[in-house]
Amino acid sequence: MGKYVDGFVIPIAKKKVKAYQAIAKKAAKVWMDHGALEYRECIGQDIDGDFGLPFPRLAKTKPGETVIFSWIVYKSKSHRDKVCAKVMQDPRILKVKPEDMPFDSKRMSYGGFDVIVDVLK
């Protein structure tokens, strides 16, 4: 069986990206300390394409906002469940309050995915 990925799409005010980046760097360390294989946080650059549904429309961004696209890779769904259980008990995560996040978590999209193609260079 292939790897498993948790994926996120987060609309965020451009002026709050630095604050988000600081939190994401700390979160990455926690996830990796507990066994995640990869942790990526990406800021939208070329997201207003003419093909398909552009990320700003998908995420329903408002003026002055952009999109964060992120993912965490695990060995499997059961591995993800074990890692996340540890992460959610980690004191570094427990001290972060939802109201302190620099984005509206109700507007965040999230899902878990089985990897069906995995090619690395």
Q: What is the pLDDT of residue 1?
A: 60
Tell me the CA end-to-end span of the chain in Å, nearest whole number. 21
Q: What is the pLDDT of residue 49?
A: 83
Domain range annotation of the chain: 4-114
Q: Calculate the dihedral angle through the C-alpha atoms of 110, 106, 68, 86, rounding to the nearest 10 degrees.
A: -50
pLDDT tens, residue by residue, 66-97: 999 999 999 999 999 999 999 999 999 998 88
Question: Is the model more confident about 50 or about 39?
Answer: 39
Q: Which CATH class is domain 4-114?
A: alpha beta
Q: How many residues can be counted in the chain? A: 121
Q: What is the pTM of this model?
A: 0.93
Q: What is the pLDDT of residue 40?
A: 98
pLDDT tens, residue by residue, 30-39: 999 999 999 9
Structure tokens at 56: 């700003």
